[in-house]
């Protein structure tokens, strides 16, 4: 498989960043043609077209995002992201070989859209069934793709590096972290770091870190910020949102890809049944 990425594996510094900071930033790591094709695949998606047409017809309407989860209407580039050799090398180097594809999403953020506050996305922490407790320390990885990038102050992602090292208790709020209350536990000063990413960049995060997104100004030079995400989890029971995989995806998959897909999907009673 010819990789969509400029790198074939993470460096030692990247791995240090994953373990120490809780994320890895890969600037402009998608090859130009892969990046352009991915944008094209997204913009030619019927559902996305309908959203864009509706917004064009009512430019003064309240800003609303495009959001779909799971993002199943993927083109060939979107599909390859799931098991591209670089993605596989990255997952194996950070969390080992025993992981599954969890789910995906696609988001287009227009001018004027509001912020997303600091949060963590490790769903076994937000629920108190015994399965959630057993699974709590397993890795849950979010691969954030920014095909057209973002500038600081314009729907930038921001992270609290090292916040993944703080135990996930209800008291450990981002506000208290940023006030210095957990610096000793994290072994570093916890501060908010706004990122700025060029088109084609990827941010690979351990979902234990607190992250947030700024608003998009009404006069942003970028009409829509495109964000697609693939989520992987260590093998085990379903996470919240672990998506159904269509039989066609499984039939067409090679053994490695099949292994990523052959796991149970989330259902309303899967943690209590
Ligand atoms: O829009 C983004 O950059 C990140 C959104 C986010 O927090 C998430 O998908 O978990
Ligand atoms: Fe998030």
Q: Which atom of ligand 1 is nearest to the CA of 207?
A: 10
Domain map of the chain by residue range? 12-235
Mean local confidence (pLDDT), 230-237: 96
Q: Whose CA is nearest to atom 3 of ligand 1?
A: 157
pLDDT higher than threshold 90 for residue 260 = yes
pLDDT higher than threshold 90 for residue 174 = yes
pLDDT higher than threshold 80 for residue 273 = no
Architecture of domain 12-235: Sandwich (2.60)
Give me the residues near ligand 2 (ion), CB cutoff below 5 Å: 121
Q: Whose CA is nearest to atom 7 of ligand 1?
A: 212
Q: Which atom of ligand 1 is nearest to the CA of 157?
A: 3
Q: How confident is the model at residue 72 (pLDDT cuts 50, 70, 90)?
A: very high
Residue from 105, 144, 231 whose mutation best tests the ligand 1 pocket (most atoms within 8 A of CB): 144
Task: Give one DSSP letter per residue of the chain, joined into a string.
Answer: ---SBS-SS--HHHHHHHHHHSEEEETT-B-HHHHHHHHHHHHT-HHHHHHHHHHHH-TTSPP--EEESS-----HHHHHHHH-HHHHHHHHHHH-S-EEEEEEEEEEEETT---EEEE---GGGS--SHHHHHHTTS-EEEEEEETT-B-TTSS-EEE-TTGGGS---TT--HHHHHTTTTHHHHTS----EE--B-TTEEEEEETTS-EEE----TT-S-SEEEEEEEEEEESSS--TTPPP--HHHHHT--HHHHHHH-SPPP-TTTTT-
Q: How confident is the model at residue 66 (pLDDT cuts 50, 70, 90)?
A: very high
Q: How confident is the model at residue 233 (pLDDT cuts 50, 70, 90)?
A: very high
Residue from 117, 122, 213 whose mutation best tests the ligand 1 pocket (most atoms within 8 A of CB): 213
CB of 212 closer than 6 angstroms to any ligand 1 atom: no
pTM across the whole model: 0.97
């Amino acid at each position: 498989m010819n990789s969509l990425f400029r790198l074939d594996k993470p460096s030692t510094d990247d791995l240090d960043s994953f373990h120490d900071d809780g994320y890895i930033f890969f600037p402009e790591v998608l090859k130009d043609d892969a990046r352009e094709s991915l944008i094209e695949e997204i913009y030619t998606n019927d559902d996305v077209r309908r959203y864009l047409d509706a917004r064009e017809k009512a430019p003064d309407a309240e800003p609303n995002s495009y959001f779909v989860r799971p993002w199943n209407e993927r083109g060939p580039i979107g599909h390859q992201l799931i098991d591209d050799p670089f993605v596989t090398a990255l997952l194996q180097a950070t969390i080992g070989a025993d992981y599954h594809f969890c789910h995906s999403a696609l988001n287009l953020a227009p001018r004027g859209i509001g912020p997303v506050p600091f949060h963590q996305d490790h769903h076994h922490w937000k629920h108190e069934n015994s399965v959630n407790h057993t699974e709590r320390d397993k890795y849950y990885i979010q691969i954030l793709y920014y095909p057209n990038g973002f500038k600081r102050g314009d729907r930038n992602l921001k992270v609290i590096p090292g916040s993944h090292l703080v135990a996930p208790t209800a008291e450990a709020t981002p506000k208290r972290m940023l006030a210095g209350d957990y610096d000793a536990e994290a072994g570093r000063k916890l501060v908010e770091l706004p990122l700025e990413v060029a088109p084609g960049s990827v941010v690979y995060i351990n979902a234990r870190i607190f992250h947030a997104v700024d608003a998009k100004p009404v006069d942003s030079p970028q009409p829509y910020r495109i964000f697609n995400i693939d989520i992987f989890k260590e093998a085990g029971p379903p996470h919240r949102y672990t998506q159904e995989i269509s039989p066609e995806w499984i039939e067409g998959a090679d053994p490695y890809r099949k292994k990523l897909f052959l796991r149970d999907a989330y259902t309303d009673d899967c943690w209590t049944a």
